[in-house]
Amino acid sequence: MALFTEEDFKVLTIDPFAKSFAKQKIVEQLFGKLNPSEDAVIKYVILLYDSKSPLRLKIPLLSDRKKECAELAGLSVKDNIFDLSHPKIVSYVNTYLRYQQSKVWSILAANEEVLWQYQSELLTPITQFKTDKDKLQALEIKSKLMAECDAIIKRIESYEEKLFGDNSDKKDKILSMTPEAISNL
């Protein structure tokens, strides 16, 4: 947490580092009673998906942001959270995004997640095919995925424009910040 202090997270909708985090009334209302393993997953969700998260501004690349959020929440790659395969994480993310009541933020978060899933598929080599026709079909599917990625990127830019509004002149500066640049401020 060298780039961040607990004070940086006081602006979030729910403070993930508050004492008795899991016993906060709002946490129990949204997610029910949590066991210790769920506690860390909820913290991860808040750190990653809160529209006011300082991580979003300081770590623009989603894959890097996920790793940092997991580390801050006390999770590891083994917890099946990066690819949303943890048994309850989709429900937790949906609940938290709805609680924030920002349709633009919610759809932006969803589009970013889908874009990176598509990117992962595009990078997967085409190796299992029996005929040239099968290989050609697989390549056509990847071509369609690339076209969809272009459309997703345009949607993401549109949603970012809505979120940044009149501060669009600062958007590029904020989104291009790297942890190294911030540490030199």
Q: Is residue 144 part of a domain?
A: yes
Quick one: pLDDT at residue 182? 35
Pair (76, 139) in one structural domain = no
Pair (88, 32) in one structural domain = yes
Q: Is residue 153 part of a domain?
A: yes
Mean pLDDT, the chain cut into blocks of 10 residues (185 residues total): 76 88 87 85 92 84 86 80 79 85 80 87 86 90 93 84 58 43 38
Q: What is the spatial distance between Cα 38 and Cα 167, in angstroms, rounded to a whole number?
A: 37
Quick one: pLDDT at residue 166? 52
Q: Is the dihedral of CA 58, 62, 2, 54 positive or negative?
A: positive
Quick one: pLDDT at residue 2? 57
Quick one: pLDDT at residue 18? 86
Which of 62, 78, 101 corresponds to the end of one domain? 101
Quick one: pLDDT at residue 140? 92
The parent domain of residue 21 ranges over 1-101
Alpha helices in the chain (DSSP H): 25-31, 36-49, 54-58, 62-73, 89-100, 103-123, 132-164, 168-175, 179-183
Pair (90, 112) in one structural domain = no
Q: What is the spatial distance between Cα 122 and Cα 147, in angstroms, rounded to a whole number?
A: 11
